[in-house]
Amino acid sequence: MTLTADLPLPSQPSLPSVPSLPSVPSVVSALSALGVAGGGVPARPPWEQGSPHWQADDVDPGPEPGVRPPQRPERLAPVPLVYRAWGDGSHPPLLCPPAARVDPVLAEEVDARLTAWAERIGLHAGHLEEFHATGFGRLITLAHPECDDPDLLLVSAQMNAAWWASDDYYADEVDLGAVPEALPARLALVSSALDPPPPAGRFTPPLNEAVVSDPVLVSLRSALAHVARHGSAAQVMRARHTTHQMYVSWNAYNAWRHAGIVPEAWRYLAARQHDSFYTSMILIDVVGGYELSAELFADPLFHRALTQAGTAAVLVNDLASAAREAGDDPDCNLVLLLAAERGCSLDEATREVVELHNEVVRGFEQSRAALAAVPSPELQRFVLGARAWLGGCLEWHDSSSRYK
């Protein structure tokens, strides 16, 4: 089923006006219809237990609590977008919703659990204090305001921490062991870690040993096992496939760097849109305790809306990272690429990326308004969850030690 024809969006206005949206009471009513269980608790995947590929010593997500706090989808009810100052306040503001929930106590609980998990599986050994200070748990608490359950929030925190670890240890940080020439082979092994192939005789034990001896691979397997605890087989497969999609873009960056090519800004942005916070947002319904059907998730208009939200959020990441990455290879930051391509200052390039971010946010609002006619409480909740990600993501980037 296609919700609507996948036609080009209307041209964007020069001012930050947004289309008419459903009233807050109607949205709250739709979300309230989901209640605690949302669209029903997803079916547990049949392979979750008893598989020799998922071993307790390397996929330990921690104990599962017996009583869960209720979900709070009413917190997703949209409030007007605002222009928010960011950084040192010297750049143009970003158009974004405010963070829907700021809860330092819950954030610290999720961060404590995340750090304990990293220590158990051997991730970030020798760097745990720095890892804890980064506050990935705080990011997830800001980005999923409908959930007060630290275990469900930990699902997203672990997956995001594992994705970031593969970025640091495989792609970016030479001091942590990143080797550009080794990146494609390492990412290929990630595929086998996340999606174990069937037994292949004497060739299987070396693969199993390689997977359990690499803390990054262990973190990805462990995080995905926690997704499997709460999500359906379809949601787990969604996480796998989106991870593989993201790594295709990483191989493109790596190829440019290895060949000494500085890509055009448009080419980088095309890759970046598949290496964005879209990957993080696919877990919105898992954390929310419901499931958006595969048919609705794959619909072109919903896909465009989620991609717009993911792209807007990752442009915030580029803006927050630009000053820290200045002087390095510019091939993984739109601000630096624009400055190099046009021979302009970082301030001028920053202004253009801010303008692009705000345009993408307006486009997301237009897509969300079009989706408001779809009679699916799960879809409405998911789209509003993506909107909440925008506010939480900016709040986190503007305060995390990772970008200071």
Q: Please, which residues bridge with residue 83 across strands?
A: 95
- Which residue carries 């998990």 as its tokens? 117
Residue 155 neighbours by CB under 8 Å, 6+ apart: 61, 223, 226, 227, 229, 230, 231, 283, 286, 287
- Residue 135 is classified by DSSP as -
Could you tell me which CATH number the domain at 93-403 has?
Answer: 1.10.600.10
d(CA 262, CA 269): 13
What pLDDT, on a 0 to 100 scale, did the predictor assign at position 114?
96
In the prediction, which pLDDT does 331 show? 65
pLDDT at 68 over 50: yes
351-397: pLDDT as tens digits? 999 999 999 999 999 999 999 999 999 999 999 999 999 999 999 99
Q: Give me the pLDDT at residue 353, please.
A: 98
Six-digit token string for 54: 């998922």
Q: What is the structure's pLDDT at 49?
A: 42
Name the packing angle between helices 215-230 and 233-259 (round to 10°): 150
What does the pLDDT read at residue 58? 46
**Residue 153 CB coordination number (10 Å):** 23
Least confident of 187-196, 276-285, 303-312, 350-359: 187-196
pLDDT digits (tens, 9 = 90+) for 141-185: 999 999 999 999 999 999 999 999 998 888 876 677 777 778 888
**What are 84's strand-pairing partners?**
94
Distance CA 386, CA 363 (A): 13
d(CA 335, CA 32): 41
With a cut of 80, say whether residue 28 has pLDDT above it: no
Asked whether residue 124 carries a pLDDT value surpassing 50, the answer given is: yes
Give pLDDT tens digits for 312-359.
Answer: 999 999 999 898 877 666 668 999 999 999 999 999 999 999 999 999
Chain mean pLDDT for the chain: 84
Q: Are 109 and 150 in contact (CB under 8 A)?
A: yes
For the chain, what percent of residues have pLDDT higher than 90?
62
**DSSP summary character for residue 45:** P
Q: How far apart are CA 389 and CA 384, in angstroms?
A: 9
The kind and range of the H/E element at 339 are helix 334-342
CA 362 to chain CA mean position, Å: 20
- Cα 101–chain centre separation: 18
Q: What percent of the chain shows pLDDT beyond 70?
A: 81
The pLDDT of 295-299, averaged and rounded, is 96
**Number of Cβ atoms within 10 Å of the Cβ of 122:** 14
* pLDDT beyond 50 at 32: no
Run of H or E including 145: none
* Dihedral pair phi/psi, residue 192, rounded to 5°: -75, -25
pLDDT: is 285 or 3 the higher one?
A: 285
57: DSSP letter: T
Lowest mean pLDDT among 106-110, 215-219, 325-329: 325-329
Helix (H, G, I), strand (E, B) or coil at 37: coil
Residue 19 has pLDDT above 70, yes or no: no
pTM (two decimals):
0.85
In sequence order, the β-bridge partners of residue 95 are 83
Cα distance between residue 329 and residue 344, in whole Å: 17
Length reported for the chain: 404
User: pLDDT band at residue 2, thresholds of 50, 70 and 90?
Assistant: very low
Identity of the amino acid at 154: L
Mean pLDDT of 244-268: 90
Query: Residue range 252-275: average pLDDT?
Result: 91
Any bridge partners for residue 82, and if so which? Answer: 96
Instruction: Label residue 63 left, alpha or beta by phi (over 0 means left) and psi (-120 to 50 means alpha).
Output: beta
Mean pLDDT of 239-258: 91
DSSP string, 158-190: HHHHHHHHHIIIIII-GGGT--GGGHHHHHHHH
Chain-centroid distance of CA 27 in Å reads: 24
* Residue 62 predicted with pLDDT over 70: no
Cα of first residue to Cα of last residue in the chain, in angstroms, is 46
277: DSSP letter:
T
